[in-house]
Amino acid sequence: MTRFAGIELGGTKVVVGFGSGPDDLSECVRIPTTTPDETMTAVAEIVAAEHRKGPLAGIGIATFGPVRLDRDASDWGRILATPKPGWTGADLIDPFRAMGLSIAVDTDVAGAAVAEGRWGACMGLSDHAYVTVGTGVGVGLICNGRPVHGKLHPEAGHLPIRRDPVLDTYAGCCPFHGDCLEGLVSGPALAGRLGRAGETIAQDDPVWGIIADYLAQLAASLTYVMAPSRIVIGGGVATNPRLLPQIRTQLRLQLGGYLAALDDEDAMANYLVPPALGDRSGVLGAIALVHDLRARASVEPCASAGQLTDHQSLAGDLR
């Protein structure tokens, strides 16, 4: 059976798994995200060891961003300006070049969105959104079955938010924007607000009402701009089981009945949903990304003279 390496590179940890989908996904290896050299060297060693056990067909990397996704750019696969210390300019591709495998790179949220569309909460839908709320806030958008990219990739986690400075005195922690969405609802934002880690905050703490309001503002923006069939909300912060119902309530209030199809509790419960794949969305998404890369390479016409074999065409993925 064809096996791929899936790498979910997050702000606090890296998850590495092997397989072709949920049914044969190996037990995942988790290591902390430290410095780029230390982290990527450790990940490359894990992948190389598995490749020696039995040949892998490719490597998928679903990473925190921003990251250069243009394969023709000189800095393809490099982390761009990021709040994470030491990671700006980090090369995610070079540690794997010697293996000679095809490599796919996208954001962790785009990967998770692809996985949820293929195997999870959005099966059968051609358009949907995946929101992760953890160390940062990311949004992956799927349109016509494929991730949305433009000059960069969606960075909706940095959308400005309506913050009442009287009701919410926290000024935000984003080093670029202060009180953008990420600066107000991410794990570091929760820690900055309350002086302790988010996982220690009681499920019924009033702060969750503030977080729900801000995430509902994001959901409203996505609804008006993209009109997705469904929005999945995942990530560590979103594991509080009381948060999603509050977001649904706030979103209905913010939409104000303007979209009749969503002005109903049952419709809203089917519209804003948790990830069906749980914490495997990211690593499965990485596997799906490289699977799709190979599938496209095998069917798309070659631009150069002559007919290349599948192996030869995939070698270009390492440029």
Q: What pLDDT is attached to residue 299?
A: 66
Query: Which helix (H) or strand (E) covers residue 29, if one does?
Result: strand 29-32
Query: Which helix (H) or strand (E) covers residue 18, if one does?
Result: strand 13-19
Q: What pLDDT is attached to residue 239?
A: 87
Q: What pLDDT is attached to residue 315?
A: 35
Could you tell me the two tokens for 273?
């949903």
Quick count: other Cβ atoms within 10 Å of Cβ 145? Answer: 13
Q: What is the dihedral of CA 52, 94, 234, 201, to 10 degrees?
A: 100
Q: What pLDDT is attached to residue 193?
A: 93
Contact by Cβ (8 Å): 193, 169: no
Q: Please state the pTM of the whole predicted model.
A: 0.89
For residue 234, the one-letter residue type is G
Q: What pLDDT is attached to residue 300?
A: 58
Structural domains in the chain, sorted by start? 4-110+279-318 (3.30.420.40), 121-274 (3.30.420.40)
Quick count: other Cβ atoms within 10 Å of Cβ 48? Answer: 15
Q: What pLDDT is attached to residue 304?
A: 36
Per-residue pLDDT of the chain (319 residues; tens, 9 = 90+): 799 999 999 988 999 999 999 999 999 999 999 999 999 999 999 999 999 999 999 999 999 989 999 999 999 999 999 888 999 999 999 999 999 999 999 999 999 999 999 999 999 999 999 999 988 899 999 999 999 988 889 899 999 999 989 989 999 999 999 999 999 999 999 999 999 887 889 999 999 999 999 999 999 999 999 999 999 999 988 889 999 999 999 999 999 999 999 999 999 999 999 999 999 999 999 999 999 999 888 765 544 333 322 333 333 344 3
> Is there a cis peptide before residue 66, judged by omega within 30 degrees of 0?
yes
The CA R_g of the chain, rounded to the nearest whole Å, is 20
CA distance 20 to 215: 33
Q: What pLDDT is attached to residue 316?
A: 38
